[in-house]
Amino acid sequence: MRQASFVLLAAMALLMAGTQAQEDFPHAFPREGVTKLVDNERVNVWEVNWINGVKQPIHRHRYDMAGVYLRYGPITVTRPDGTANPPSAPFEIPRPYFQAKDVTHREEALNPPGTPERLAIMVDLKYEPGAAQPALTAAPKLPKLFPRAGAKTVLENERVRMWDFTWERGKPVVQHVHDTDTIEVFLEGGVIASTNHEGRTVQHTVAWKSARFVPRGTIDTEVATSGSPRAIIIELK
């Protein structure tokens, strides 16, 4: 009986130690090569560069994460037990991406100088799944942000829906209501004129790898006045 109790206590101690070790790992961001682009109660948006030759710490992703890879570069992924995955084969760009929380690892670009460095825009989803949102009361008869002509769904799950959309220069998007919070990750730059329901127009100059948060409830119409901006647009569910 005494031996069984000792075994049980030892197992519990190991479990608690493992849990404590897991909790002690830092969050994935910030770290070297990472810049914060957006910070609010719903999301953090990060520009993430994997810099060749820079060793990274083991970290734990504390939030579900959505994102878009903007450049391929080989990286090695190592787990806390020291086992590693070799670099993946090159993939097409842009590459929409989703990762569930609690993944613990480090990702390193331990490559010779001149090797392409991986680049992504990553979005930490700080809100809980299924978190209730106030009902939309403004302009309920307006069309929603999506679907719309020219927009293609590129990824969808229970947390997010992602669209690939290009604003054609001089072609207005009809007035609509943003029924979800969205993050626009730009693949091509330009200028987008956004006119709200009161008639006020704001010019948004966007560029490759820039990101913009548009809150739920926004009512506007849009037109590209310079270039043909293209974005992966992430809708938060």
Kindly report, residue by residue over 42-80, the tens digit of the pLDDT: 999 999 999 999 989 999 999 999 999 999 999 999 999
SS3 (DSSP) at 75 = coil
| SS3 call for 132 | coil
Q: What gap in Å lies between CA 233 and CA 213, rounded to an integer?
A: 10
Q: How far is CA 29 from its chain centroid? A: 12
**Coil/strand/helix, residue 182:** strand
Largest CA distance in the chain: 81
Per-residue pLDDT at 18 exceeds 60: no
Give the percent of the chain with pLDDT over 70.
Answer: 89
pLDDT in tens, 168-194: 999 999 999 999 999 999 999 999 999
Q: Reply yes or no on whether the pLDDT at 27 is more than 50.
A: yes
Q: What is the mean pLDDT of residues 120-142?
A: 84
Its pTM surpasses 0.85? yes
Structure tokens at 141: 């008869």
Q: Is 94 helix (H, G, I), strand (E, B) or coil?
A: coil
Q: Where are the beta strands (DSSP E) in 61-181?
A: 64-71, 76-78, 84-85, 95-99, 104-108, 119-125, 152-156, 160-166, 173-177
d(CA 104, CA 57) in angstroms, rounded, equals 10
Residue 60 in contact with residue 103, Cβ under 8 Å?
A: yes
Is residue 14 over pLDDT 50? no
Domains of the chain and any CATH numbers: 25-125 (2.60.120.10), 152-236 (2.60.120.10)
pLDDT for 136 equals: 80
Neighbours of 189 (CB within 10 A): 16
pLDDT digits (tens, 9 = 90+) for 79-113: 999 999 988 899 999 999 999 999 999 999 999 99
pLDDT tens track for 194-231: 999 999 999 999 999 999 999 999 999 999 999 999 99
